[in-house]
Amino acid sequence: MTGPLADLLVLDLTRALAGPHAAMTLGDLGARVVKIESPAGDDARSWGPPFMDDAERTSTYFLSANRNKESVVLDLKAPDDAKLLERMVERADVLMENFRPGVLDRLGFSAARLHELNPRLIILSITGFGHDGPEASRAGYDQIAQGEAGIMSLTGVSVPTKVGVPIGDLVAGVNGVVGVLAALHERAATGRGKVVRTSLLASMVGFHAFQGTRWTVAHEVPGLAGDHHPSIAPYGMFATATAPIQIACGSESLWQALCGAFGWDPAEAGLATNRERVANRTALVERLEAHFANDPAEHWLALLDAAGVPAGKVRSLDDVYNWEQTRSQGLVLSVEHPTLGEIELPGSPLRFDDNTYSGGRPVHAAPPLLGEHSDAIRAEFG
């Protein structure tokens, strides 16, 4: 193992996406991650299509969140398997779980019991709506949580729309990693572990940013944001003669640069300040799109780039993964899968100044088959 977390053993009891994404992040950073699966396997193994085998047990969904892990199958209701987990806990640094509140307790692995086995253990618990409160028992599925947490009320043009990726799961996973790293830092001083908790609800409410303070401070209820920023103009997506482009005039100097490129007066009445431009956004968007209708997207992107105005394409995913800039950042990994052969996966978003590869390790392992490492792990810990 190499990487900044190479001395850590992580037990991943999570399923679906939030927890597996958190555990994969630690694995990317060098931790040894053992994925503990029920005999049926992680639910996400069957979330398809697309599937990559005839048995429909290798979904691309599962492949997205489980690299750099070993897989062992344990039935925690079976005494021998529960005993094996106890021995693993005794040696682990982190245990991650995303059961509904109380489930792990009923299996005999409450936080108190886990800390009896290993007082240094960091426990990450990810739930749907929090571990306490009147609705703690609710199942946590991303789309439901996106609606309940208000994200869908901000997303879309004419009707509330979910984000195109499971943003609640992913942000909860990232928040879980932040909490685990903070607890590990504290453990270095105290010698004791603790429980870290987050939820899909907490992560998305914490993700509201300026939209949240529009309500909590200004008592405005934000509506659908559509393709344009609610507080800055021009800042959004604009049609051209061929394809849409995006522009971000995030300062008065950028507005002046855009006007200079187009031969417009930046001090024109009704457009001279951001406040005026936001108030007159509809007319401003129509004016810009009428201007952009005369030439293809590439023409306008080149002109805006020369003027120093931030602008960009709206890329499809095939374009993103074939883009030289994406690949230059280590955002595409090649791994050798035991049945699929060489496959490419989206890479880690982290790089360090002493390497040029994705995450904290130079070589990444493919997501495991169900129980691929069971025999070796049973021998090691049994």
Rg (CA), the chain: 24
Are 331 and 302 within one domain? no
Range of the domain at 20: 9-207+327-381
Token pair for 217: 């401070």
**What is the predicted pLDDT for the residue at 309?**
97
The answer to whether residue 270 is domain-embedded is yes
Are 124 and 254 within one domain? no
pLDDT at 358 over 90: no
The answer to whether residue 226 is domain-embedded is no
For 355-380, letters b (16+ CB in 10 Å) and e give: eeebbbbeebbbbbebbbbbeebeee
Active-site annotation holder among 7, 169, 305, 318: 169
Beta bridge partners of 245: 238, 313
Beta bridge partners of 248: 235
Site of tokens 């100097």: 253
- pLDDT tens readout for residues 23-71: 999 999 999 999 999 999 999 999 988 998 766 678 999 999 999 999 9
- pLDDT tens readout for residues 258-277: 999 999 999 999 999 999 99
State which amino acid sits at residue 96.
M
Are 309 and 338 within one domain? no
**What is the predicted pLDDT for the residue at 349?**
94
Are 368 and 305 within one domain? no
Number of domains in the chain: 2
Distance between CA atoms of residues 57 and 38, nearest Å: 14
Domain endpoint, select from 266, 290, 313:
313
The answer to whether residue 318 is domain-embedded is no
Closest CA to 295 of 262, 254, 342: 262
Closest CA to 304 of 291, 316, 317, 315: 291
Are 22 and 160 within one domain? yes
Are 109 and 164 within one domain? yes
Distance between CA atoms of residues 128 and 1, nearest Å: 33
Percent of the chain with pLDDT over 70: 98
The answer to whether residue 191 is domain-embedded is yes
What pTM, to 2 d.p., does this model score? 0.93
For the purposes of burial, counting CB atoms within 10 Å of the CB of 338, is it exposed (0-12), middle (13-18) or buried (19 or more)? exposed
Are 47 and 193 within one domain? yes
The answer to whether residue 108 is domain-embedded is yes
What average pLDDT does the segment 94-111 reach?
A: 95
Mean model confidence pLDDT for the chain: 95
**Domain CATH code at residue 203:** 3.40.50.10540
Are 40 and 144 within one domain? yes
Site of tokens 């006007």: 259
DSSP helix/strand/coil, 245: strand
Are 351 and 279 within one domain? no
Domain endpoint, select from 275, 290, 313:
313
Are 29 and 133 within one domain? yes
Are 198 and 336 within one domain? yes
- Cα 64 versus chain centre, distance: 11
The answer to whether residue 256 is domain-embedded is yes
Are 251 and 188 within one domain? no
**What is the predicted pLDDT for the residue at 361?**
87
Distance between CA atoms of residues 7 and 1, nearest Å: 8
**Catalytic (active site) residue 295:** no
For 236-247, letters b (16+ CB in 10 Å) and e give: bebebeeeebbb
The answer to whether residue 50 is domain-embedded is yes
Please enumerate in sequence order all residues whose Cβ is within 8 A of that of 156, keeping only pairs 6 or more positions apart, or say none: 224, 226
